[in-house]
Amino acid sequence: MKRSTRALGTFFIGAGVNHFVMPRAYQQIVPPRLHGEARRVVALSGVTEVLGGVGALLAPTRRAAGVGLIALLAAVFPANLYMARAPERFPRIPRWALYARLPLQPLMMWWAWKATRE
């Protein structure tokens, strides 16, 4: 298994677990139209990240996990966009960092694709 694949799996497992360690931080970035479901959205995305990370580490599920992680990254992009468009709601995060996250999403998608094509 490539180092990149191990790093991807570990990253997503850790990120997913963090949804349950610090749920409020994630609930705050759920876009307003989904605020009523914020707890559920955060839990679902956390479980999905953990499953995607584990799937990336296992050869039989690696390719499917890569596709799933790409879909997940696309699904959570509106939260990143919301943060960038409503910086007053996130005063502890520098405005530049809110915008810097946006181009990172396609890079993460590329990483998920490349690391799971082994």
Residue 55 lies in a domain: yes
Single pTM value for the model? 0.92
Asked, for residue 44, whether it belongs to a domain, the answer is yes
- pLDDT surpasses 80 at 118: no
**pLDDT digit string (tens) for 56-76?**
999 999 999 999 999 999 999
pLDDT tens figures, 12-38: 999 999 999 999 999 999 999 999 999
39/45 Cα distance (integer angstroms): 10
71-93 pLDDT, tens digit each: 999 999 999 999 999 999 999 99
13 domain residue, yes or no = yes
Count of the separate structural domains present in the chain: 1
List C-alpha distances in Å: 48 to 3, 19, 25, 74, 83.
22, 11, 17, 13, 21
Is position 73 within any domain?
yes
Alpha-carbon gap, residue 64 to 116, rounded angstroms? 8
Name the H helices within the chain: 3-21, 23-28, 38-57, 62-85, 95-115
